[in-house]
Chain A
Amino acid sequence: MKADIAFGQYYEGNSFLHRLDPRWKILFVIFYIVIIFLAKNIFSFALLILSAIFLTLISRIPLRTILRGLRPLVFIIFFTAIINIFWLKGDTVLVDWWIIHIYLEGLINALLIVVRVVILVAGTSILLTYTTTPIALTDGLERLLSPLAKIHLPVHEFSMMMTIALRFIPTLVEETEKIMNAQKARGADFSTGSLVRRAKALIPILIPLFISAFRRAEELATAMECRCYTGGKGRTRMNILHSSWRDVAALLALCALCAGVVLLNIFAPGYALAL
């Protein structure tokens, strides 16, 4: 099945994480990222790994789904690992052959960096994108930023833009496919020839797409006007976001994790990250 932007990576569920207030979740993710970058040695990293395992378990998302989400990162992970293994110098030599020198420090450093990248991506997607719909995210962001509207930043307009974009991207993707198929049926060729040729072949797709997008925008504006839309002023919302004990619990857990990482950094001696 086609990837569905409306739900993004959203994994339907009703877990503890799914039920957190999206406003808090956005803050939690930022906090979690900070904690990930605070970790400096193998003991604090071990604690991080435990936290990621814990997140995976309470999200009730199959491990397979999460690993699949990491697949696009394989190249980056591989690359950073190689660089660290071969370029970092240390005291304990493991391999010393021809021009290849591998040190234990380099190996551990590579390992820690790989762990950091994996937890960064897996952790944030479990906390946020797997367990929150893009709509809830947009909503949470609008309300988090709503104080900024007081200094005349267009917070509502931004969020309306996001909402409409989320609503229309699938429609436009579908339309692009339709136009491409129509052009292919007339003998258009999008996959062979030089780059210039292929770019040229896209023009007959982009022009009808743009024309139709503008028509859609005009019709949508009329429809919104008909539905009494006059901007953010005086507008209320059906769904109010509620913070609950879950958000408090999650906040406390993150604070504890942060304290643990900092303490382990200071008091547990071990191989420290060089980068």
Chain B
Amino acid sequence: MDTGNNTAKESEKQMSTIMKAEHISYSYPGDEEDRPVEALRDVSFSVEEGEFVAILGHNGCGKSTLAKILCMILQPGEGKLYIDGEDMTRDDITEEDINKGRRKVGMVFQNPDNQLVATIVEEDVAFGPENLGLAPEKIRRRVDWALETVGMTKYARHATHRLSGGQKQRVAIAGAIAMRRKCIIFDESTAMLDPHGRKEVMDTISRLNREEGITVIHITHYMNEATMADRVLVMQGGGIIMEGKPTEVFSRAQELWDAGLDVPQTTELLWYVRQAGYDVALDIFDPAACAAEIARVLKGTAHGRDNT
């Protein structure tokens, strides 16, 4: 029986699906008279280990609710959630099992001020490992590694509230990876930052994904951040309406606009160029490449047109 269980786990590991959601629905219980608020309706998707997934969607479409379910902060009303092959929605699940799941999946929130617990940077990063009951030397090693990975070693003894927004978020990221997590969910972690801080955090996220092999689920409003992902999920009204590579998803510009979303500026520009009758590709996200594409079609047609 024991061995059977093990082989089952092995085979799931080989598929290496870190996260799998099946037909998840969730409603917030409303106030006494109110009806419950439906936030998620029949959401299914899966995330492979090492993947970088972006989730896009208009305000109130249920992104944060989904993130909280994936982190096991909320229990889905219906549907199944598997973390690393383990069913987190079974009836007999214990507090301990849930905590085990939380060791694998972490979350970085939107407001950098409301997720740091300690006054000193390294003590905040140590908070998670301390909760796991690790030996002091082990915690120290993990904290040093985590701070190094997000490039905040220099600030280890600084006060957290004195840091810039981007630095605070990097400390929060260090706190999340210090628990040696396989997957980290970023719930609009760049939304409150200035452009500089946003770049700082995005660089850190993509480095974690590339170099440390950490699975990233990045919820964002910024389309150019979504273009960095391997896969994009688009949500609307509590469900997933589109899924695919960034190039595929953003090529469907009209549908995105209908869902109340933007497309990357390059795509938008190319879309208008196409509306004007030129045959350009839409799936170009690099400004220079975009300019080259427009130059290409303009040059190609320059001979046939009068110069106005």
Given the interface contacts A237-B130, A238-B143, does A220 sit within 8 Å of B102 by beta carbon? Answer: no
Q: Does A189 contact B (CB under 8 A)?
A: no
A199: B residues at CB distance < 8 A:
none
A219 at the interface (CB under 8 A from B): yes
Q: What is the bound-complex CA distance between A91 and B175, given in angstroms?
A: 70
Q: A171-B161, A226-B102 are in contact. Are A220 and B114 (CB under 8 A)?
A: yes
Contact among A134, A215, A229 for B131, CB-based, below 8 A: A229
Q: Which of B151-192 contact A (CB under 8 A)?
A: 159-162, 175-176, 179
Q: How would you classify the secondary structure of chain A's contact residues: helix, strand, loop or mixed? A: helix
Taking a contact as CB atoms under 8 Å apart, the answer to whether B130 and A236 are in contact is yes
B302 within 8 A of A: no
B136 x A6 contact (CB < 8 A):
no
Q: Beta-carbon contacts of B127-148 to A below 8 Å, as 1s and 0s?
A: 1111111111001100100000
Could you give, for residues 141-170 of chain A, a 1 whenever the CB lies within 8 Å of some chain B CB and a 0 otherwise?
A: 000000000000000000000011011001
Q: Which residue of B lies closest to A217 (CB)?
A: B114
A6 and B119 contact, Cβ closer than 8 Å, known pairs A225-B73, A226-B107, A238-B139: yes
Take A134-B119, A163-B119, A226-B107 as given contacts and tell me if A236 and B139 are in contact as well, using a CB distance cutoff of 8 Å.
yes
- Number of A-B pairs, beta carbon distance below 8 Å: 106
Contacting residues, chain B, for A222 (C-beta < 8 A): 68, 73, 109
A167-B161, A227-B106, A236-B136 as given contacts; A135 in contact with B143, CB under 8 Å: no
Task: Give the contact-size bracket for chain B.
Answer: 35 or more
Please name the residue on chain A nearest to B172 by beta carbon. A223
Q: For the complex, what is the distance from the CA of A222 to the CA of B118, rounded to whole Å?
A: 15
Docked complex Cα distance between A23 and B187 (Å): 40
**With A and B bound together, what is the CA distance between A19 and B267 in angstroms?**
60
Write the B105-128 contact mask toward A (1 if CB under 8 angstroms, else 0).
011010101111111101100111
Chain A CB within 8 A of B103 CB? yes
A135/B118 contact (C-beta < 8 A), A228-B131, A238-B126 known: yes
A223 with B115, Cβ < 8 A, contacts A228-B99, A237-B130, A239-B136 known: yes
4 extra interface residue pairs, beta carbon distance < 8 Å, beyond A236-B136, A237-B139: A226-B71, A228-B102, A230-B99, A235-B131
List the 7 closest A-B pairs by CB distance, nearest first: A223-B115, A219-B114, A238-B126, A238-B139, A227-B128, A228-B131, A6-B159
